[in-house]
Amino acid sequence: SQQGEEDPQALSIQEGENATMNCSYKTSINNLQWYRQNSGRGLVHLILIRSNEREKHSGRLRVTLDTSKKSSSLLITASRAADTASYFCALPWVASGSRLTFGEGTQLTVNP
Amino acid sequence: NAGVTQTPKFQVLKTGQSMTLQCAQDMNHEYMSWYRQDPGMGLRLIHYSVGAGITDQGEVPNGYNVSRSTTEDFPLRLLSAAPSQTSVYFCASSYGGVLDQPQHFGDGTRLSIL
């Protein structure tokens, strides 16, 4: 099955700094999604980027997609303590249109 | 809208007991799914449904049953609980499938099997 691999596994930064996390995958995709999970909570959808898009913005979030390198990155600018969470990339399993696979996530800690 | 509601939030079972995890959504979403989340393993798909009366297996379906009699509800049944089923369970829903729709998650059920 298709599964994204996030890198790094953990990231610790100071408030105000930018945070970048990456997702690599192996086979072709229709879209790639990023989710955030705060401790003890469910996942929250952040951004969906389609295979024909190269960059997408939402507030302080910027997602890029490079289909030739089979990778995506999520950039959080001017981070805040409230951004502390786990971040996951999610990929539809193309062979089965109704399955979404998740990587193991990047744990981001933003220190005040 | 309440979104996706999961009950209970916490549950402790003994090995061999059965129970049903409830999931309800009020967004008229066709697609619903169940995941389990274990440390270091991300989320793994258990079962999913593309509409009332239609269900299918995910990556790790053994030991679990589902049914979808209404659009709103998608309960997950543990037939005979085993310690390996200790996990956090998440229900998700979306309008349409996963190819181009964001998933809406509940806050999870934390299940311990003794």
Secondary structure letter of residue A103 according to DSSP: -
Give residues with Cβ within 8 angstroms of A108, minimum separation 6.
Answer: A10, A11, A12, A13, A19, A21, A76, A79, A83, A84, A85, A86, A87
Cis peptide preceding B39, ω within 30 of 0: no
Best of A61, A100, A107 to substitute, by most chain B Cβ atoms within 10 angstroms, is A100
CB contact under 8 A, B33 and A88: no
Mean pLDDT of chain B: 94
Q: Give the per-residue pLDDT at A1.
A: 57
CB contact under 8 A, B103 and A45: yes
Question: Shortest CA distance to B107 belongs to which of A65, A7, A75, A41?
Answer: A41
Q: Give the per-residue pLDDT at A92.
A: 84
- pLDDT greater than 60 at residue B14: yes
Mean pLDDT of chain A: 92
Q: What are B's interface residues with A at a Cβ cutoff of 8 A?
A: 4, 31, 33, 35, 40-43, 45, 48, 50, 56, 58-59, 90, 92, 97-108
Q: What are phi and psi of B102, to 5 degrees?
A: -65, 145
Lookup: tokens for B14: 């003994």
For residue B98, list chain A residues with Cβ-Cβ distance below 8 A.
92, 97-100
Degrees (nearest 5) of the Cα angle A100, B84, B53? 45
Q: Give the per-residue pLDDT at A30.
A: 85
Lookup: tokens for A59: 């507030």
